[in-house]
Amino acid sequence: MPLHIPSYSLTRRTLLSRILQATGAAAAAQFCANSIAETPGKEGVKKEAWALFSDTHIVADVAMNARGINMADHLRQSLNEALSAHRELPFSGLMVNGDCAYLEGKSADYATFASLLEPVSAKGIAIHVTLGNHDHREHLKSGLDSYLGAESVAAKSGAIERAVIAEKLSSRVTGRFCDWYLLDSLEETNQTPGKIGNDQLKWLDEQLKRSPDRPALVMVHHNPQPPGLGKVTGLLDTEPLLSLLLERKQVKALFFGHTHVAKTIELGGLHLVNLPACAYRFSEVQPTGWTAAVIDQTGCTLTLFDTEKRHSLHEKPIRLEWRS
């Protein structure tokens, strides 16, 4: 499964102490019952908010710049904005959709990444992390575990269902109005293309068949790239993924990153949402920052928050209506 960090309001030392004291699955499950396992919102609540991040590209040294941008500063700013928004409409979770690390996904990069995210978890917001081509599965787990020490506990929460797939980290996160399916497209660290693979596609298909009436949102780092568009830099298995998502009508949207582009298009009623990079842009016309997603029974409203506050998409809500 992707990494899931439970919310907590304890000091790190106290948190680690309590986790170490927890013996057995029952104790771990009880710990999570006080964090992310509760059904988001209250009876009568008509919407649920999520904070969406992608391509943070954090490196161990917080002073390091790339492409003229300090990645740690960009992430700090975006997280502070999300925490401010959380006071008005509490987020049920914050998702970081891959390329958490800068290039090679070193353990020290993830320790810095975790330290930057700690204020979010301390405010009671669960964090869900997927993997991109600049990530490393084992380093991500060890880097976050060594700092927060909580991933293995969060995995036992009833709000999260992990997939048992060799070499892939996938899971289903239950929201109030939809289910999030978080996929792993990391094929090889620091190599551009990504792949979902047959086993992960089979797992996704089986999950969707189990819940045909639950709206589903799929998140994966790499962008879908149809054949015939030159060298593949996105998903190598775009066709089988899109075929599956288009067939399963409960799937309402596919969220992805990787391209450092902010864009939404519709394909056969399926919304394709390209999340902007938090770290840096590849093109001067693109924004950086984060996205708020407010979900209700019939759709989703996306609002992008540009780091520089001057992009045309900044704070301009985009409504996505769900297909029937």
- Inside any domain, residue 48: yes
- Inside any domain, residue 281: yes
Residue 311 DSSP symbol: S
Q: How high is the pLDDT of residue 229?
A: 79
Query: Residue 88 is part of which domain span?
Result: 3-18+44-321
- Inside any domain, residue 33: no
Tally of helices (H runs) and strands (E runs) in the chain: 8, 16
Q: What is the pTM of this model?
A: 0.87
Q: How high is the pLDDT of residue 144?
A: 74
Q: How high is the pLDDT of residue 141?
A: 82
pLDDT tens for each residue of 184-215: 999 999 999 999 999 999 999 999 999 999 99
Q: How high is the pLDDT of residue 148?
A: 52
- Inside any domain, residue 81: yes
Domains identified in the chain, total number = 1
- Inside any domain, residue 35: no
Q: How high is the pLDDT of residue 4?
A: 66
- Inside any domain, residue 27: no
Residues of the chain with pLDDT under 50: 1, 8-41, 150-158
Q: How high is the pLDDT of residue 217?
A: 98
- Inside any domain, residue 24: no
Q: How high is the pLDDT of residue 190?
A: 98
Q: How high is the pLDDT of residue 227?
A: 80
Q: What CATH code is carried by the domain that includes residue 278? A: 3.60.21.10
- Inside any domain, residue 82: yes
